[in-house]
Structure 1
């Protein structure tokens, strides 16, 4: 049974999760509408809103993602920052969602501060309450990819990996921050689909479009499912040596597999036969996957000069994903996540949001 602390979610991720959980929880009350979220920025006291044809502010929800903070800070911020906004908005009902664990006494204190808008302790959701709703609605758990990694069981699996040359990234603090900063796009789901269909994938694009980040998230996803991860640092032939013809779960990852210097590119050309054999073997084995990254112009040049690859076409379009520049909305989410992870004060963040 998963027990999430939600520490791998950014504030915006947590709001989206809270919205889905409240919609599931209040479904039995048959409201003429659903909760919805709003984009990053000043929210005027409204993180979640359920409106009906007769009432604009049927239920207002406030979401506080306070993983590391104390209850005293949560209560103080609710009273000093949110309380006046609620009384000004005058909703029919007010609910509070937080990633903190709450005791019955904690809920009683919060309810007292927001009467008459919070009418029952059942409208105050702490970490335990959210996990209970998740267990009752598994489809929500499956929908939120980054949520899975706030499970202690899953995170421990990743932390146990100590890849040579990448040890510093496999710490609790670094990994959780990396997940919070990551903005999930359609590329992640598309890449997973391509890999599952073809057993290998080529992730290509210009520098800085997120090839390595996307690959890392896919690797963490495999670790979650008990795959052995093999990171190739030098030569594609390392895959041939370590690839096992059995039912064991293996994933091979080679970043910049065609190289980025002329000497490395020349070396990759000499390994054409090995790459072709590896792809053929992996396609015919269960539980074996290959993730390859390269820059777009290097891949194009390589294919232009390799008649064998053009004829065999192992890098066919359906096994390749080309990452484009981030959209405005994705860039905005990325900036918001970095701001939240920064050491800026709440006042400074408020100035930026204006």
Structure 2
């Protein structure tokens, strides 16, 4: 057992009416969850610690710092040796973006309709380590990615929301389960030569890293027409090293029942009052929303946000 005795730190004495001359000390030791009072007697200092109540082991201190990360951040000498705190400082933009995204996902979880695409997506992730969710605008690509992010977090994966492949590489630390999410990795409207060049340069290297580290997973989303265009223009995306087509999940095929559940959830969990919800569900208006040719999760959100005052 390694013991460190330090008189610089002070703790309140165990007595409710302390003697001013009572020796105040802190004991820092690797106790390994043994009986504290026994360890104190072994040290021969029972007067300083009558009941072992003020004896704190190194493991206890580390646990307390984990519970109170603010203390850790405020005292640089503590976090200079903490990899986790250093990483959060170096990649603060990624951590802040992830926190904001998780707050949004928490609100979306009740509205999500579980469907077959979730199981299909998880299978690709297990088999390939990477998943490209492709589809037309508004079909629920980002929503599916967000739900996969939430499911992995519940399974004790550390999740990250990044803005590009460079950030993805920066947080792809091996040794712990990490899921990285990149939305619209080929852009939102059109594919530029500059963006395609960056994807060509970085994606193959990153996918190699995923193959060699089973604890790393990567989810990307893109519009289907951008993916088709990128595969035509880029030899690397269609090469055996990347094999992008093997990682693609094409979403957007919804049964009438799934469409009905999506619309209903968005209405039920919206901020509309009961009377307004009833109007949306009255007569055949609900069925018309479901069968509309533009019906998709995004338009489902829009319909639940429209006030039915007219």
- What TM-score do you get using the length of structure 2 for normalisation? 0.55
- The 2-side partners of 1:305 and 1:192 are apart by 29
Q: 1:1-354 residue pairs with structure 2 within 5 A? A: 163-165=95-97, 170-171=102-103, 175=105, 177-233=107-163, 235-244=164-173, 246-262=174-190, 266-312=194-240, 314-342=242-270, 343-345=272-274, 349=278, 352-354=281-283
Report Cα offsets for 1:162-219 as digits up to 9, x if no partner. 9534655544xx6554112111110011101111111101110000110000000000
SS at structure 1 position matched to 2:188? coil
Residue 210 and residue 263 in structure 1: after superposition, are their counterparts in 2 closer, same or farther (change >3 A)?
A: closer
Residue 237 and residue 175 in structure 1: after superposition, are their counterparts in 2 closer, same or farther (change >3 A)?
A: closer
Residue 164 and residue 214 in structure 1: after superposition, are their counterparts in 2 closer, same or farther (change >3 A)?
A: same
Q: CA RMSD in A?
A: 2.6
- The 2-side partners of 1:323 and 1:176 are apart by 22
Residue 308 and residue 317 in structure 1: after superposition, are their counterparts in 2 closer, same or farther (change >3 A)?
A: closer
Q: Verify the 8 A CA contact 2:157 2:179 in the aligned structure 1.
A: yes
Q: Which runs of 5+ in 2 are unaligned?
A: 1-93, 284-310
Tell me what 2:64 maps to. Answer: none
Q: Verify the 8 A CA contact 2:186 2:222 in the aligned structure 1.
A: yes
Higher Cα radius of gyration: 2
SS at structure 1 position matched to 2:214? coil
Report Cα offsets for 1:14-55 as digits up to 9, x if no partner. xxxxxxxxxxxxxxxxxxxxxxxxxxxxxxxxxxxxxxxxxx
- The 2-side partners of 1:322 and 1:308 are apart by 20
Moved more, 337-346 or 162-171: 162-171
SS at structure 1 position matched to 2:176? coil
- The 2-side partners of 1:350 and 1:271 are apart by 48
Count of aligned pairs between the two proteins: 189
SS at structure 2 position matched to 1:321? strand
SS at structure 2 position matched to 1:204? strand
- The 1-side partners of 2:161 and 2:280 are apart by 43
Q: Verify the 8 A CA contact 2:98 2:161 in the aligned structure 1.
A: no
Moved more, 324-333 or 312-321: 312-321
Q: Verify the 8 A CA contact 1:203 1:292 in the aligned structure 2.
A: yes
Q: Which runs of 5+ in 1 are unaligned?
A: 1-161
* TM-superposed deviation, 1:325: 3.9
Residue 273 and residue 312 in structure 1: after superposition, are their counterparts in 2 closer, same or farther (change >3 A)?
A: farther
